[in-house]
A and B are shown apart, each in its own frame.
Chain A
Amino acid sequence: MARLTLPAQELMYRGHAACPGCGPALAMRLLLKGLGPRTVLSIPACCWTVIATPFPTTALGVAVLDNPIESTGASISGLRAAADALHLPDVTVVGFAGDGGTADIGLQALSGMLERRTDAIFVMYDNEGYMNTGVQRSGATPQGAWTTTTPVEGTRRGKREPKKEIMAIVLAHRPAYAATVNPAFPEDFVRKVETARDVRGPRFLHALAPCPPGWRFSSEETIDLGRLATETGLFPLYEVEEGVYRITRRAGTLKPVAEYVHRQGRFRHWTEEEVEELQAATRAGWERLLRREQETAPSLPPPTPPIGGTPAPA
């Protein structure tokens, strides 16, 4: 007999307005499974403004407040303050923003919310660009990717700069909990949402959200690409609680990034050398994460200082 590994509850309705194969839609569905009905969501201008469908309908089975693109962090601080002031019981306050509304224009409000230690969850769904406005580059767009504002024409070969590291920025604020999640790994996703739900203080989830029209791949490949993003080490799954890193999915050997790159039109112009550069950078990033996990592991005994110093050579 099959065993349900995810909560059966659906708080995202059918009839939403997402594109076929939409990563952000999957991220929202899994998020709400883990959060439950007493969630208040604050959503800035992003794909989800549209996916949730226009007035007077809604595709979400929870209370939703819209806010301008840059102020999600402040909005969830206000919702938390009001829920506390009014003694509303068991309210989970969540901001759900795209990568632009989090890491670019929304960065100040996010930093403010983390610094003032708002008891709320901020979720960045990362489709690596301004997709709702027609695929423009954001700070979270990967280096070398084509977008409509980083064309591949003449001497220009897509985005010149590397992807902004939002987890590093968030972790510099010492949040109560931060994790990466990927809808291609739903059990890991929901478990982390449930963990985040039960931790008090500022919490952050970085959700990979593949975008078929923006990344230029076929809509039935969303899960495959999501899996590859993690299995190549490009988007490792880990969580950080009280400063302790824990990798939650560990592959024996990383798959070549070429498998991920060659399936997306936004990297179609890449040469073998460019793939190799990404391969080297990805390997280095993965090793850095492994070291971080070892360094912060609580089970390790503290290094023993040598007694009496290093003996002098004879």
Chain B
Amino acid sequence: MTREVLSGNAAQAYAVRLARAQVVSAYPITPQTTIVEQLSRFVADGTLDARFVEVESEHSALQVVVSASALGARSYTATSSQGLLLMHELLHWAAGLRAPIVMGVVNRAVAPPWNIGADHTDTISQRDTGWVQLYPESSQEVLDTVLQAFRLAELAEVRLPAMVNEDAFYLSHTVEPVDVPPAELVDRFLPPREGHAILRPGVVARLGSFTGPDHYVEFRHELARATDEVLRRLPEVEEEFRRLTGRTHGGALATYRTDDADAVLVTMGTMSTTARTVVDELRAAGRKVGLAKLRLFRPLPEEELRRLAGSVDRLGVVDRAFTFGASGPVAGEVRAALYAAPQRPRVDSFLAGIGGRDVTPGHVHRMFEELLGPDGAETVWEDLAPTEVGVHG
């Protein structure tokens, strides 16, 4: 085990090298660029034995790794924001062809207006494409999650593509110490992707094809079952990883001081770190509060959410994106998941950190105060500037 000081983006690249990816393809977009710059150097200096395919768009980058994955190559790409939106059609192809690609996504706001700050609108709006979506909060968790994502994605019962998402700049460009596991250890956790080619030269087969209603339904049902399998397999994959490295990141829904909590905030990504320190402060002041970090957004860990709901009175879901005409997207998902729960707490929807606005301990304190207060609001836009700023012209 070596200790290195890595940004979230460098952690992605280090993990891809440890995973011995065979085909990498990417198109540059801020703030993803340092991932692919680092990977280009690894390929150039010979420490990563991969084909790096330089492409003319994100759309082509994803098609390159979809096709490479179909022939059996372990494949990786990375993008952000507009690039992910351009990939949208191919996202469906990757999942539908059951190509176990791993993609690093640096979560960035969507234009207009142009903004390169952290925001989850890009990945949230890809939720129905069949991809696994993981949201780590630290460089260490990024490195570990990329390795776990390859393992999970390539399981015979799963065979689905997975996104490992990082908040722009807070995670992509912030450096912190990371334990980098030795290659031999990763090789035991993640053996070569052998015998998993879905297409073989010389073997008559067609991948993709077309169908009428007579088979299409079953293809979609298979995809749905594979997605369910992720919920069953993630704990096993994390346990294997813990046995080898001693590290765990808490499964699909990582809870913190929730056991006897009255009110719990649900977060994704880097704001979880801030929220955890606020939980400690409030606990020290005798307030019964906790945190649940949603690490896996797709598939949604509904059972864990219902279990959590069984022991708390109030949940506040903090979203870094908004579903126009509805609520915070994760809040909406949590409410839907809890509808079937025997005990349903009040679920408040908070919007914070949109477009890279800082989520400070002060904001988290205020969200807890509102959550512990008498009135549940439909959706609270935290830290909204007064209207005099005049964005309407």
- Does B201 count as interface, using CB distance less than 8 angstroms? yes
- Does B325 count as interface, using CB distance less than 8 angstroms? no
Shortest Cβ distance from A45 into chain B, in angstroms? 9
Minimal Cβ-Cβ distance residue in A for B24: A81
Shortest Cβ distance from B170 into chain A, in angstroms? 32
Q: Is the CB of A54 within 8 A of B205?
A: no
Point out the residues of chain A lying under 8 angstroms from B63, CB to CB.
Answer: 67-68, 71, 74-75, 78, 109
- Does B331 count as interface, using CB distance less than 8 angstroms? no
Tell me, in angstroms, the Cα distance from A75 to B64 when the chains sit together.
5
Q: Is the CB of A38 within 8 A of B202?
A: yes
Q: Is the CB of B207 within 8 A of A64?
A: yes
Please, could you name 16 A-B residue pairs with CB atoms under 8 Å apart, sorted by A? Answer: A52-B206, A54-B211, A54-B215, A63-B200, A64-B207, A66-B207, A71-B59, A74-B59, A74-B64, A76-B67, A78-B53, A78-B66, A82-B69, A84-B51, A88-B71, A116-B53
Shortest Cβ distance from A133 into chain B, in angstroms? 14
Q: Among B64, B73, B203, B208, which residue has its beta carbon within 8 angstroms of that of A77?
A: B64
- Does A247 count as interface, using CB distance less than 8 angstroms? no
Q: How big is the B interface, by class?
A: 35 or more
Q: Is the CB of A112 within 8 A of B67?
A: no
Minimal Cβ-Cβ distance residue in B for A55: B209
- Does B102 count as interface, using CB distance less than 8 angstroms? no
Q: Is the CB of B204 within 8 A of A58?
A: yes
Tell me, in angstroms, the Cα distance from A42 to B199 when the chains sit together.
11
Tell me, in angstroms, the Cα distance from A115 to B90 when the chains sit together.
22
- Does A60 count as interface, using CB distance less than 8 angstroms? yes
Q: Is the CB of A74 within 8 A of B55?
A: yes
Point out the residues of chain B lying under 8 angstroms from A67, CB to CB.
Answer: 63, 66-67, 93, 208
Q: Is the CB of A42 within 8 A of B67?
A: yes
Point out the residues of chain B lying under 8 angstroms from A77, CB to CB.
Answer: 25, 53, 55, 60, 64, 67
Q: Mark A34-61, 1 if CB is under 8 A from B, else 0.
A: 0001111010000001101011101011
Q: Among A42, A56, A61, A66, which residue has its beta carbon within 8 angstroms of that of B215?
A: A56
- Does A289 count as interface, using CB distance less than 8 angstroms? no
Instruction: Check A111/B208 contact, CB under 8 A, given A37-B202, A79-B68, A82-B71.
Output: no
- Does B212 count as interface, using CB distance less than 8 angstroms? yes
Tell me, in angstroms, the Cα distance from A187 to B71 when the chains sit together.
32
Q: Is the CB of A40 within 8 A of B201?
A: yes
Q: Is the CB of A54 within 8 A of B60?
A: no
Shortest Cβ distance from B356 into chain A, in angstroms? 31
Shortest Cβ distance from A37 into chain B, in angstroms? 6
- Does A91 count as interface, using CB distance less than 8 angstroms? yes
Tell me, in angstroms, the Cα distance from A1 to B20 when the chains sit together.
58
> Which A residues contact B (CB, under 8 angstroms)?
37-40, 42, 49-50, 52, 54-56, 58, 60-68, 70-71, 73-79, 81-86, 88, 90-91, 108-109, 111-112, 115-116
Q: Among A49, A82, A112, which residue has its beta carbon within 8 angstroms of that of B23?
A: A82
Q: 12 other contacts beyond A78-B75, A86-B22, with CB at 8 A cut-off?
A: A58-B204, A63-B205, A64-B207, A68-B93, A74-B61, A75-B63, A76-B67, A77-B53, A78-B65, A81-B25, A83-B71, A109-B57
Instruction: Check A91/B207 contact, CB under 8 A, given A81-B51, A86-B22.
Output: no
Main secondary structure of the interface of B (DSSP, over half): mixed
Point out the residues of chain A lying under 8 angstroms from B324, CB to CB.
Answer: none
Q: Is the CB of A85 within 8 A of B206?
A: no
Tell me, in angstroms, the Cα distance from A83 to B208 when the chains sit together.
19
Point out the residues of chain B lying under 8 angstroms from A60, CB to CB.
Answer: 204, 206
Point out the residues of chain B lying under 8 angstroms from A81, CB to CB.
Answer: 23, 25, 51, 53, 64, 68, 73
Q: Is the CB of A55 within 8 A of B207?
A: no
Point out the residues of chain B lying under 8 angstroms from A40, CB to CB.
Answer: 71, 199, 201
Q: Is the CB of A108 within 8 A of B51?
A: no
Tell me, in angstroms, the Cα distance from A227 to B107 when the chains sit together.
56
Shortest Cβ distance from A173 into chain B, in angstroms? 12
- Does B54 count as interface, using CB distance less than 8 angstroms? yes
Shortest Cβ distance from B93 into chain A, in angstroms? 6
Q: Among A58, A68, A79, A108, which residue has its beta carbon within 8 angstroms of that of B206?
A: A58
Tell me, in angstroms, the Cα distance from A183 to B388 when the chains sit together.
70
- Does B56 count as interface, using CB distance less than 8 angstroms? yes
Q: Is the CB of A86 within 8 A of B71?
A: yes
Minimal Cβ-Cβ distance residue in A for B64: A78
Q: Among A39, A49, A112, which residue has its beta carbon within 8 angstroms of that of B60?
A: A112
Tell me, in angstroms, the Cα distance from A67 to B67 when the chains sit together.
9
Minimal Cβ-Cβ distance residue in A for B203: A63
- Does B103 count as interface, using CB distance less than 8 angstroms? no
Shortest Cβ distance from B28 into chain A, in angstroms? 14
- Does B383 count as interface, using CB distance less than 8 angstroms? no
Q: Is the CB of B210 within 8 A of A54?
A: yes
Which among B71, B72, B215 has the highest number of chain A CB atoms within 10 Å?
Answer: B71
Minimal Cβ-Cβ distance residue in B for A72: B63
Minimal Cβ-Cβ distance residue in A for B209: A55
